[in-house]
C-alpha cells in the first residue's frame, strides 16, 4: 500500500510545504529517530524535556484538569475518557516548552494551538482517531476558520507508566510506550498535503499507574490572532 492511496481530503500547497520543511529539519537532527514505516512520517526524540520540566507540567495538569472533550461533540462518552488541561502559553512555566517544540519542528509558534495536558488513570483511553479535521464533518468550517487544517502533532510523555498507555498507530504498525521526556511527533498529512488516513492512532488504556502527556497540534496557517 502506498501513502498516495491513503488520502482522506484535499491536498494544499501550505500543507505540502509544511510536511517537506519539517521532515527535512527533523532528518537533519541527530537526536531524532524516524519510526520504521513508510505509511506516515513519525519521529521520536528521547529526553526532550528534563525530569524537572516534566514534574512541573504534571503539577499543572493535576491542578487544572477537567474531563476531556471531543471536537464532534460525540455523544459516545467512552471514546475519550481521560482528563485534559489547557495550558497558558504565555506562562513562564509553559512558554519555553511551547516554543522549544515549535523550534524543534521549525514551525512558527503562532501556528500552534494552545498546548494541552492529558491525564489518564487506570482504564482510561483515547480511542482510535485522526488529529486532522475531517472535511465532511459539520464542524469543519468552524474549526478551520482560524489556522486551517492541522498539520503536525507533537506530544511529550511526562512520566513512566507501569503498564499500558502506549500510543498505537494500527495502520502504520507503530506502537510507542510512554517514557519520561520522550517527544513523539508526526505529520498528519501525506507528502502532497492531503490528510493521511494511516495516521490513525489511539491512546491505549492505562492498566497500572497514571499517564501524563502534553499535546500540541499545529495548523497550516496562523492560529493565534494578533
Ligand atoms: O494519549 C495518547 O497516547 C495519544 C493522545 C492523542 O492522540 C491526542 O492527544 O491527540
Ligand atoms: Fe490524537
pLDDT of residue 76: 64
Q: 105: which residues sit within 8 A by CB, 6+ positions away?
A: 22, 25, 26, 152, 154, 185, 218
User: What does DSSP assign to residue 199?
Assistant: G
Site to probe by mutation for ligand 1, drawn from 40, 65, 118, 210 as the one with most ligand atoms within 8 Å of Cβ, is 118
Q: Does 88 map to a domain?
A: yes
CA distance 209 to 121: 7
CA 202 / ligand 2 centre spacing (Å): 7
Residues near ligand 1 (Cβ within 6 A) = 118, 126, 131, 155, 167, 201, 203, 213, 215
Residue that the C-alpha cell 522549544 belongs to: 100
CA 30 / ligand 2 centre spacing (Å): 26
Nearest ligand, CA 118: 1
Q: Are 214 and 115 in contact (CB under 8 A)?
A: yes
Q: Say if the ipTM goes beyond 0.95.
A: yes
Provide the residue range defining the domain that includes 58.
8-70+79-167+178-219
**Buried b / exposed e across 209-220, counting CB within 10 Å, b at 16+?**
bbbbbbbbbbbb
Task: Using alpha carbons, select from 128, 133, 135, 136 the residue that is nearest to residue 200.
Answer: 128
Q: Does 1 map to a domain?
A: no
User: What does DSSP assign to residue 204?
Assistant: P
CA distance 71 to 26: 29
* CA-211 nearest atom, ligand 1: 1
Give the residue, by CA position, lying nearest to ligand 1 atom 9: 215
pLDDT of residue 1: 40
pLDDT of residue 68: 87
CA distance 15 to 219: 9
Q: For ligand 2, a single-atom ion, which residues have Cβ within 5 Å? A: 131
What's the structural domain count of the chain? 1
Q: Does 145 map to a domain?
A: yes
Q: Does 50 map to a domain?
A: yes
Q: Does 2 map to a domain?
A: no
CA 113 / ligand 2 centre spacing (Å): 13
Give the residue, by CA position, lying nearest to ligand 1 atom 2: 203
CA distance 108 to 211: 29
Site to probe by mutation for ligand 1, drawn from 44, 119, 129, 155 as the one with most ligand atoms within 8 Å of Cβ, is 155
Q: Does 173 map to a domain?
A: no
80: Cα separation from own chain's centroid: 15
Each of the 226 residues of the chain gets a pLDDT tens digit; together they read 444 446 778 888 989 999 999 999 999 999 999 999 999 999 999 999 999 999 999 999 999 998 888 876 665 678 888 899 999 999 998 999 999 999 999 999 999 999 999 999 999 999 999 999 999 888 899 999 999 999 999 999 999 999 999 999 999 999 999 999 999 999 999 999 999 999 999 999 999 999 999 999 999 999 998 6
Q: Does 27 map to a domain?
A: yes
Report in angstroms the alpha-carbon separations of 21 from 8, 18, 53, 54: 22, 5, 28, 28
CA 27 / ligand 1 centre spacing (Å): 23
Paired residues of 67 in beta bridges: 83
CA 130 / ligand 2 centre spacing (Å): 6
* Residue 151 φ/ψ, nearest 5 degrees: -105, -75
Q: Does 213 map to a domain?
A: yes
CA 99 / ligand 1 centre spacing (Å): 20
Residue that the C-alpha cell 486551517 belongs to: 148
CATH at 41: 2.60.120.620
Task: Using alpha carbons, select from 186, 136, 149, 196 the residue that is nearest to residue 5.
Answer: 196
Amino acid at each position: 500500500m502506498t501513502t498516495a492511496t491513503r488520502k482522506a481530503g484535499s491536498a494544499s500547497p501550505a500543507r505540502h510545504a509544511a510536511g517537506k520543511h519539517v521532515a527535512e529539519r527533523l532528518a537533519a537532527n541527530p537526536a531524532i529517530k524516524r519510526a520504521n514505516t513508510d505509511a506516515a512520517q513519525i519521529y521520536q526524540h528521547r529526553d526532550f524535556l528534563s525530569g524537572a520540566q516534566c514534574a512541573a507540567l504534571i503539577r499543572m495538569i493535576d491542578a487544572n484538569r477537567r474531563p476531556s472533550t471531543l471536537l464532534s461533540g460525540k455523544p459516545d462518552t467512552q471514546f475519550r475518557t481521560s482528563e485534559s488541561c489547557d495550558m497558558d502559553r504565555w506562562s513562564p512555566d509553559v512558554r519555553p516548552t511551547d516554543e522549544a517544540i515549535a523550534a524543534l519542528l521549525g514551525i512558527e509558534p503562532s501556528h500552534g494551538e494552545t498546548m494541552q495536558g492529558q491525564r489518564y488513570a487506570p482504564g482510561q483511553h483515547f480511542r482510535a482517531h485522526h488529529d486532522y479535521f475531517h472535511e465532511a464533518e459539520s464542524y469543519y468550517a468552524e474549526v478551520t476558520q482560524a489556522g486551517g487544517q492541522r498539520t503536525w502533532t507533537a506530544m511529550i510523555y511526562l512520566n513512566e507508566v507501569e503498564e499500558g498507555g502506549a500510543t498505537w498507530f494500527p495502520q502504520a504498525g507503530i506502537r510507542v510506550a510512554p517514557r519520561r521526556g520522550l517527544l513523539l511527533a508526526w505529520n498528519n498529512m501525506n507528502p502532497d498535503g492531503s490528510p493521511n488516513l494511516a495516521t490513525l492512532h489511539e491512546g491505549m488504556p492505562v492498566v497500572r499507574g497514571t499517564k501524563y502527556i502534553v499535546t500540541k497540534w499545529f495548523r497550516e496557517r496562523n492560529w493565534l490572532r494578533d
